[in-house]
Chain A
Amino acid sequence: MTLQILLAISAILFAFGLAATLSRSNSIMILIGIELMLGAANLNFISFWRFSENPSDLVGIMFAIFSIAVAAAEAAVGLAIIILVHRRLKSVEADDANNLKG
């Protein structure tokens, strides 16, 4: 397992996440896409840390744990917003929530 392979996996994961976020119209699917992109970023943290000069000082893994915690909070807030949007608009389609359009 080399750094290049891990980075390639992470890039593919990120691309999947971005594609899902851009193309799906269901906001829950968009949230899942965002989670995929976050996972890819975490994978980058971990792999750069693993192949760094000094992997025993745990910086990378701490960063990843931080970002996992933030991602959990983000998912909770995101789902709460989706629930509120659904209550108001009876729909979770992202295109229906366009009250701010110019």
Chain B
Amino acid sequence: MTIALIPILPLLAAGVTALMKRGQRVPAATLVIAAQAASTVLSLLAFLQTLGAEGAHGEVARRYFNFPWLSIGSETLSLGLLLDPLGAGMVLMVSFVSLLIFIYSVGYMKEDANFTRFFCFLSLFSAAMLGVVLSNSLLLTFICWELVGLASYLLIGFWFHKPEAAAAAKKAFITTRIGDMGFLLGMLWLYSASGTLLFYDHGHGCLEQAALTAMATKTACVGLAVSNCIALLIFCGAAGKSGQFPLHVWLPDAMEGPTPVSALIHAATMVAAGVYLVARMFPIFSATGTVSVALTTVAWVGAFTALFAALIAVAQTDIKRILAYSTVSQLGFMMLALGVGSVTAAMVHLIAHAFFKALLFLGAGSVIHGVHEEQDIRNMGGLRKYMPVTFVTYAIGMMALCGVPFFFSGFWSKDEILHVAHQWPVSQLPFFMAVAAAFLTAFYMTRQMCYVFAGSYRGHAHPHESPAVMTVPLGILAGAAVLMSIPATPAWPWFHGYHNGEPITFDFARLFEHDFLTIAGLSVVIVAAGIGIGYFLYRQFAAVDPLARIWSSGFRTLANRFYVDEFYHATVVRALGLLGCLAAWIDRWILSGIVRLVGALSLAASSLSDLFDRFWINLGFDSICGGLRDGGQLASSWESGRVQGYLRFLSVGAVLLLIILGWLLT
């Protein structure tokens, strides 16, 4: 199977690059980019293979191969790789976007001393993500998932000499680890409930009918089916990686990494992994019907996150942080789509979002590069004149994200999500939350555009356009953000047919159906309102944000991100600190008390023997003692205080013992 090469090539490249010297910049970058390009080509071939393939029994075509990895007693754990429409579209997007980001990084990281190390980590990141996408076993998914976590830790903390970057890396690692705990528990439970971790295995996999029925009919606790419990636990992991409330706190801080890393985390890898995991495990989430407890939870969490993060984004002033909160919000949209039962809508938005969000981040990187590492949008302005290419591509990305109608992918994919949310039988509230979030998206992106590109320059540097190695990937991504709108329109529902293995027909009349027109009309109105109000408020720069003038306490709450970080600091961090103090107290007073008691007892005993010595034995022994002291000094000179010296004696002794033992035995 050639698809195994897709993750293996970048992994090998990462391994080889790790052994290179610091100065070997050109070979490192060439190798990593070549490996990534090769795996992009292989992904494209794999994708083309899935296009014409027909599945059996009206299902989508799935090709997989499994192999035993570990056999313990009578149990065998298998790993496997899987190629189906869900994964094939994703793998093409991941490898292609990663490739563009790698090329861009050559320009962005040019002056960094640790250029080689950076490319090694990038390659590892992409390899791990490709592994998550192609895995046919939850175990392999988990392994690659943790590798994604590791690579993100290394990359967010790439400039670890900055304390904020080191702290952000730690925060990302620990926050996602909390979610991963749930993932691990869910995986163990799934194994005990279904006896396998393979997704598809000729009718025996955990996502196939037999196992699903067994899990859906058994009840675990408080009336929840086993499948729902497992799904909720796995969703914990997905929420951690995809930055869903309440585990979203790491994502904005992850901006401390170099900008290409932010683009990679926010578009192609990492955050997409959570959404993809839920999409992959969707049969378990929906084992008890499409409004199961697990899916309802996913929908509510998604809708809430979409609105919550969009509100925070309105009041941020760091160019990358605005985009970070916008990612959190868009991930909320995807989770909402999954929760209301439409995997296709979520995946279309995921892939469309990956292109335009990578574009926006790389554009932001180009801006930051152009104004000499300034990230505060209040110190920018007027960059349209200085950076025309960046401006045009950024504007395309911004319009795609806002969902400006007809020629931008975001419009169609977001519309689809609003559409499925509208049809959700449980409640209409998530739909209205999503509409509000869509309005805010248009608003905060317009605010950002006005601050960065309009007016006149307010900083002190000399802004300049970025080199071609950075602007060409921007152009390609801008093209993709526009072209992605073609397969997502309801007139030609290519994605829908492709994902579900249905024939794809072109029917222009679908654009004029009543329920589509209502939602589309509504979304055009809210986008126009968002952009209009945003432009009206921010068309002229003001030192105080116009919103802060209107309602300052509310704006401050938003600017402080609803105080979630402070809340965690006051509860979780403080509780752990108290636990640490308690442990230190036990250590100091109880354990150490015992030690001191023993010490005092032996002191008492020795002072007794001291008396005994002094008044009884001390006669004539002095010379012997002198000899002993000299001997002791000689012996103590061996005690060099060097741990390794002791260890050397120890190993020599062990070897001698071995030789004697061997001699005795023969």
Chain A residues proximal to chain B, CB less than 8 Å: 18, 21-22, 25, 30, 56-58, 61, 94-95, 97-102
Contacts and interface: CB of A to CB of B under 8 A. Distances in A.
A22 B641 contact: no
B73 interface: yes
A30 B645 CA distance: 13
A21 B639 contact: no
Contacts of A95: 642, 644
B644 A102 contact: no
Contacts of B647: 21-22
A94 B647 CA distance: 12
A96 B337 CA distance: 59
Contacts of A56: 73-74
B640 interface: yes
B648 interface: yes
Interface string B617-636: 00000000000000001011
B609 interface: no
A100 B651 contact: no
B639 A102 contact: yes
B643 A94 contact: yes
A94 B642 CA distance: 7
B493 to A, nearest CB: 51
Of B633, B638, B640, B641, the most chain A CB neighbours within 10 A belong to: B641
A31 B644 CA distance: 12
B637 interface: yes
12 contacts: A22-B644, A22-B648, A22-B651, A56-B74, A58-B73, A94-B642, A94-B644, A97-B643, A99-B641, A100-B639, A101-B639, A102-B635
B368 to A, nearest CB: 34
A56 B74 CA distance: 7
A101 B74 CA distance: 54
B542 interface: no
Contacts of B639: 100-102
A75 B127 CA distance: 28
Contacts of A101: 639-642
A30 B647 CA distance: 11
B642 to A, nearest CB: 6
Contact of A18 (B72, B642, B651): B651
Interface of B: 72-74, 633, 635-644, 647-648, 651
Contacts of B640: 98, 101-102
A40 to B, nearest CB: 14
A56 B647 CA distance: 38
A100 B641 contact: yes
B642 A98 contact: yes
B642 A102 contact: no
A42 B419 CA distance: 56
B651 A102 contact: no
Nearest to B72: A61
B579 to A, nearest CB: 15
A21 B644 contact: yes
A102 B73 contact: no
Of A22, A95, A102, the most chain B CB neighbours within 10 A belong to: A102
Nearest to A97: B643
Nearest to A27: B643
Given A25-B644, A98-B642, 8 more contacts: A22-B644, A22-B651, A30-B643, A94-B642, A97-B641, A98-B640, A102-B633, A102-B637
Contacts of A100: 639, 641
**CB-based closest 4 A-B pairs:** A101-B641, A102-B636, A98-B641, A102-B639
Contacts of A102: 633, 635-641
A7 to B, nearest CB: 15
Contacts of B641: 97-102
Contacts of B651: 18, 22
A64 to B, nearest CB: 11
A22 B648 CA distance: 7
B430 to A, nearest CB: 42
Nearest to B638: A102
A52 to B, nearest CB: 13
Nearest to A102: B636
A95 B644 CA distance: 8
A94 B643 CA distance: 7
B630 to A, nearest CB: 13
A75 B73 CA distance: 29
Contacts of B72: 58, 61
A30 B644 contact: yes
A27 to B, nearest CB: 8
A26 to B, nearest CB: 11
Contacts of A97: 641, 643
